[in-house]
């Protein structure tokens, strides 16, 4: 009887051993499987920096101008505020601008006169060869009016003329620049001719 029980125990143990061993083998496979690391995404390549665009010339300028419109008595100094707006074209060497100036002109026998000038400028400029310097030569046409007091009466004189201007711009950063110019014009006013030399200083974009 004891031998029979021993045989039964051995048979049951042999049958139960694979059932308990199978999960442990599966767990062993899971634990023994090497971990694979996902590849890190590559950093996007930085775009190549674009070279700086060439300057096409000024777009707008604000400045100060001085000229002497003689009054026949030793006076005639005029100090003007200047605004120039430029027209951009595909030909960067072509310089086109409209100009407005307004200020006071000294009159020896009375108070200051009001001087207003409108002008058109067309010329040639070098925007690349001497960077950051941009020289130019322009033909300028001007017209305007002079308003003043003469013997307690208000008088208005119209004038017009043309001439040449030589100038130089210094580019500082992008379109920001300084400008200086010297010009000569011959005006006609009330049947008289005036030879004018003008200095202009300014800054712009």
Q: Are residues 160 and 86 in the same domain?
A: yes
The whole-number pLDDT of residue 54 equals: 72
The whole-number pLDDT of residue 187 equals: 97
CATH of the domain at 119: 2.40.160.20
Q: Are residues 105 and 22 in the same domain?
A: no
Q: Are residues 156 and 196 in the same domain?
A: yes
Which CA distances in Å does 182 have to 141, 157, 164, 199, 200?
15, 25, 9, 5, 6
**Cβ-contact 163, 140 below 8 angstroms:** yes
| pTM listed for this prediction | 0.73
The one-digit pLDDT tens for each residue of the chain (205 residues) are 555 565 556 666 655 555 544 544 444 445 455 555 656 666 555 444 344 567 888 999 999 999 999 999 999 999 999 999 999 999 999 999 999 999 999 999 988 999 999 999 999 999 888 889 999 999 999 999 999 998 889 999 999 999 999 999 999 998 999 999 999 999 999 999 999 999 999 999 9
- Tell me how far apart the alpha carbons of residues 157 and 115 are, in angstroms, rounded to a whole number: 10
Q: Are residues 89 and 162 in the same domain?
A: yes
């Amino acid at each position: 009887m004891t031998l029979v029980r021993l045989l039964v125990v051995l048979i049951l143990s042999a049958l139960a051993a694979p059932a308990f061993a199978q999960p442990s083998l599966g767990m062993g496979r899971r634990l023994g499987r090497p971990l694979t690391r996902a590849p890190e995404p590559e950093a996007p390549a930085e775009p190549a920096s674009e070279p700086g665009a060439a300057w096409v010339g000024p777009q707008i300028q604000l400045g100060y101008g001085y000229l002497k419109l003689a009054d026949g008595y030793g006076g005639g100094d005029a100090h003007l505020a200047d605004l120039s707006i430029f027209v951009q074209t595909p030909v960067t060497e072509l310089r086109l601008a409209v100009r407005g100036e307004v200020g006071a002109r000294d009159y020896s026998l009375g108070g200051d006169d009001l001087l207003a000038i409108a002008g058109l400028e067309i010329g040639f400029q070098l925007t690349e060869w001497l960077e950051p310097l941009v020289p130019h030569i322009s033909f300028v046409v001007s017209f305007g009016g002079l308003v003043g007091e003469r013997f307690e009466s208000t008088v208005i004189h119209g004038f017009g003329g043309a001439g040449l201007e030589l100038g130089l711009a210094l580019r500082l950063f992008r379109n920001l620049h300084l400008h200086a110019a010297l010009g000569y014009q011959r005006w006609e006013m009330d049947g008289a001719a005036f030879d004018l030399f003008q200095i202009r200083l300014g800054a712009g974009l």
